[in-house]
Amino acid sequence: MTGGEVFTGSFTQQEPIPEEAIAAAVAVLRHGRLHRYNLAPGEAGEAALLEEEFAALTGARYCLAVASGGYALACALRAAGVAPGDAVLTNAFTLAPVPGAIASVGARPVLVEVTGDLVIDLDDLAAKAAASAAQVLMLSHMRGHLCDMDRCAALCRDLGLILIEDCAHTMGAAWNGTPSGRHGLFGCYSTQTYKHMNSGEGGLLVSDDAAAMARAVVLSGSYMLYPRHRAAPPPEAFEDARWDMPNISGRMDNLRAAILRPQLAGLADRRERWNARYRRLEAGLAGTPGLRLIPRPAAEDFVGSSFQALLPGWPPARMAALVAACAARGVEVKWFGAAEPQGFTSRHDHWRWLPRQDLPQTDRVLAGLIDLRLPLTFTLEDCDQIARIVRDEVGALASE
């Protein structure tokens, strides 16, 4: 630790829920109809309206609101026809709920290498697809980094892969103008507190495929009340699904939907504010000896709600010392190379319920990867201070 200034802000404090959302939630509490199918005569319900509005926002035909982002992932896999024992491709650099969703349906995660730009290695994807005979790619846009989605979607078509996008970190992002989540069969989103809309927990699923979405709606626990969905396929699309799909209840309730609906209108503004903070931190760290910033392609309209950088070649002891030194000065740096999982942060070799897979490229990248949350409660001046502290500590340790 070099001493000097100490940051006093919180890396976990989100902005308050908007007043309009609070009022909407109170209205639901007052009438008591929290269950999505418990409706007054002529009432659409908050969950159904959220689905309509989110479908319109993303340009999707259909949308389903569910209990969590992880549930959305597992529901998408089941609706796509993934069966126990099937191989499912996914990024080696992701968070545990992504391979966890694959495991939850009895399938086998096949991990694909990550590049130094923190996106899936499309060459390794092609090789692993051929070797595993997998028919599905669950693509995790981990920490908001989009790969070349035009190339990825074309490769999936060529390989016969069903593409499911995990957009937990990319709600509001786009590639060449196409919203994240709109390149494959399903796009899956999270509304957990640290994501781009906040309902504590929650998830959203979008698709243009009527049969697949009908299966998802029944899976989510619609019973035979699917005609009450508005951003859903017509009743005839449910003819097979209503007989063939199990009920694995995971509906979003009207209370959480009421909290989320007013947040939709502010999503673009929050993206701009996040990106201003991201660019400020990036500028403050630019040129730090030994620190590699992650390039953002011109085609990527990202949402900078977190920040990553690499310290290639740094040994584990020095990385651990950096985390500790920054923490002593109030800056919460996460490190994906730690020997044991910490908080929400883990890597592929920590998931011992998954057969060990050889991923040398990913291991090299994660060994030097640092990660910081950027809540909107930070000011631009906060980002300047965080950058100074990280820069100081990187410089001090690099010179030892």
pLDDT category, 23, cuts 50, 70, 90? very high
CATH of domain 19-264: 3.40.640.10
Q: Does position 89 have pLDDT exceeding 80, yes or no? A: yes
- Rounded percentage of the chain residues whose pLDDT exceeds 90: 96
Asked if residues 337 and 368 have their Cβ atoms less than 8 Å apart, the reply is yes
Q: What pLDDT score was predicted for residue 168? A: 98
Q: What pLDDT score was predicted for residue 61? A: 98
Q: Does position 400 have pLDDT exceeding 90, yes or no? A: no
Q: What pLDDT score was predicted for residue 62? A: 98
Q: What pLDDT score was predicted for residue 354? A: 92
Asked if residues 61 and 208 have their Cβ atoms less than 8 Å apart, the reply is yes
Residue 287 region by backbone torsions, left for phi larger than 0, else alpha for psi between -120 and 50, else beta: left
Q: What pLDDT score was predicted for residue 3? A: 75
Where helices occur in 110-249 by DSSP H, the ranges are 122-132, 149-159, 210-219, 241-244
Helices and strands per DSSP (H, E), number in the chain: 13, 14
pLDDT category, 92, cuts 50, 70, 90? very high
CATH of domain 267-398: 3.90.1150.10
pLDDT category, 310, cuts 50, 70, 90? very high
pLDDT category, 175, cuts 50, 70, 90? very high
Asked if domains 19-264 and 267-398 share a fold, the reply is: no
Q: Does position 264 have pLDDT exceeding 90, yes or no? A: yes
Question: Once rounded to an integer, what is the mean pLDDT over residues 285-289?
Answer: 97
Q: What pLDDT score was predicted for residue 329? A: 98
Q: What pLDDT score was predicted for residue 399? A: 79
Q: Does position 282 have pLDDT exceeding 90, yes or no? A: yes
Which of 139-148, 241-250, 347-356 is predicted with the least confidence, judged by mean pLDDT?
347-356
Which of 55-64, 121-130, 133-142, 347-356 is predicted with the least confidence, judged by mean pLDDT?
347-356
Residue boundaries of the structural domains of the chain: 19-264, 267-398
CA distances from 124 to 59, 111, 136, 152 (A): 31, 10, 15, 12
> For the segment 124-142, what is each residue's pLDDT rounded down to a tens digit?
999 999 999 999 999 999 9
Q: What pLDDT score was predicted for residue 148? A: 98
Q: Which tokens in the block code for residue 5?
A: 């200034």
Mean residue pLDDT across the chain: 97
Cβ neighbours of 273 (radius 10 Å)? 18
DSSP secondary structure letters along 225-290: -GGG-SSS--GGGGTTHHHH------BPPHHHHHHHHHHHTTHHHHHHHHHHHHHHHHHHHTT-TT
Asked if residues 130 and 85 have their Cβ atoms less than 8 Å apart, the reply is no
Question: Of 202, 265, 191, which is closest to residue 18 (Cα–Cα)?
Answer: 265
Q: What pLDDT score was predicted for residue 20? A: 98
Amino acid at 294: I
